[in-house]
Amino acid sequence: HDPPKYWTIHGLWPDRAEDCNRTWHFNVTEIKDLMSDMRHYWPDVLHSSLNRTQFWKHEWEKHGTCAATLEVLNSQKKYFGKAIELYQHVDLNGCLLKAGIKPSSSYYKMTAIKEALTRFYGVTPKIQCLPPEEGEKAQTIGQIEFCFTKELQLVNCTVPEGGSNPVQAHLKLGTSELSVCNDTLPTYYPSEVQ
């Protein structure tokens, strides 16, 4: 219901690590003072459940416990708090607007979106799309991934040697698959995805 009309956080994911510490369970009370920011910037846009914390629990158990090997992310409060801080620092919503890229019923060129982001940030993010529906010609922008060093400085997102990481290259969004956008297809940036 009422999906947000702005970019939200999916997660903060360390490379080459998953399910690091199964015994370190999610405890929502540790992030209680982040709750209003969490609900705003990090909502579960796929499952509008009464228990909003399922998504955060999943992100913590799968990715946060791995990220916690870095001192700056070594607790739930630090992990979620730092992710929100990075999100606000990146300010994707503001950047796209400044570049004149906003939800529209007309199409964009993927290269134009990439160039605007690269110009603004000085690094290349990874842009993921839903492929065209049957009989359609345009892909739909679905997720924009920024990459950081262990010091949490922005860096280019590059495809690792030996092919892409299947976990990050293909992400299920509802029933559809997100994959790296095609530079040659017209690109739809809707205000909401049905």
Catalytic residue set: 10, 59, 63
R_g over Cα of the chain: 17
Q: Dihedrals φ, ψ of 4, to 5°?
A: -65, 150
d(CA 56, CA 83): 12
User: Which of 53-90 are b and which e, b meaning 16 or more Cβ less than 10 Å from the residue's Cβ?
Assistant: bebbeebbbbbbbbbbeeeebeebebbbbbbbeebeeb
CA angle 187, 147, 80 (to 5 degrees): 105
The token pair at 59 is 């992100």
d(CA 44, CA 3): 9
